[in-house]
A and B are shown apart, each in its own frame.
Chain A
């Protein structure tokens, strides 16, 4: 099974640069510019193995997306990593976020996080 990721960020530069990085690692990459577009993409099969999520976006922001995602058993199972310049707050802890990437994201931090989640070495662990 191929590796796959959904990147949700309203900034085209960040979404595109992350797509390039994940593409180089052999991931099938999908991109959404807000939570609403992401939920539409998540209706299609196969669903991504993980989600990278920006918090501050016009339209449906990261918090609203996480709340909607939690309402669906199928979507709630997809590990979601939040990308933000701020700190993890209590609201996010309650929304079952899998991990935290501080912006500006560095490649080493991304690799560490993915290694920690064993996504690179064994993506089937998350199926």
Chain B
């Protein structure tokens, strides 16, 4: 057999070696990517866990000293509860990331008031904005806007979009606007006045791996948002100019088709 041949086929061994090297590189990159993601995920989970632990420490200490004021305890327990909600959303994000593409996203529809859900999510996240000296406002033209959606998924979409604005538009106020689109559809826009997004980056945002994982997040929040909105039979888009902020809008049917996910 001549050098560089397999069973006398010229160049086949070279081709096999080239492909093996290529696949090895791809696998190595995938493992590195997974390790980076796990590292960022651990950091993301540790933060709410840390404050939850401190709240409990403080309340236990006050109780041990017989100085647990019921009103003060109620305020702190609600703040601790928000950290549990934050952990829940983070874990949902992680489960969605690890879900195989062939498995459907689980969606359980129930009658919900979109305005109330938006306000509740913003109330949970507002502490963080106030702490950073900025605002998180809700604009809704009506008091109630009912439809059939999955509460946890809706909260996940809103939380991911708001925390995305919080991370990428530091110091900017964030506004969440709820709009009725005719009889059958609704839209929610999350906008900021931050640095905006370059046209080239806009196209990648909703794709898996379109945002880099960093200490600021998993880098997969918008991809997850896109998956959930699509599962509801909705659409998602972004309008932005560099230096002039960004507005993410998702539009949903008020009554998604059963099994549409």
Contact = CB atoms under 8 A, between A and B. Distances in A.
Given A13-B82, A15-B131, A58-B170, A20 B58 contact: yes
Nearest to B76: A20
Interface residues of B, number: 32
B251 to A, nearest CB: 30
A20 B52 CA distance: 12
A14 B51 CA distance: 4
A13 B83 CA distance: 8
A24 B63 CA distance: 11
A18 B170 contact: no
Interface string B39-75: 0000100111111111101100110000100000000
Contact of A16 (B79, B86, B215): B79
> For the side of the interface on A, what is the size category?
20 to 34
Contact of A13 (B58, B62, B127): B127
A61 to B, nearest CB: 10
A106 interface: yes
Contacts, number: 84
Contacts of B86: 13
Contact of B50 (A20, A33, A34, A105): A105
A33 B54 contact: no
Interface in A1-57: 10-18, 20-21, 24, 31, 33-34, 37, 56
Contacts of A16: 51, 79, 127, 131
Nearest to B49: A104
Contacts of A126: none
Given A85-B43, A103-B46, A107-B61, A17 B54 contact: yes
A17 B58 contact: yes
Contacts of B130: 12
Interface of B: 43, 46-55, 57-58, 61-62, 67, 76, 79, 82-83, 86, 127-128, 130-133, 167, 170-171, 215-216
Interface of A: 10-18, 20-21, 24, 31, 33-34, 37, 56, 58-59, 85, 103-107
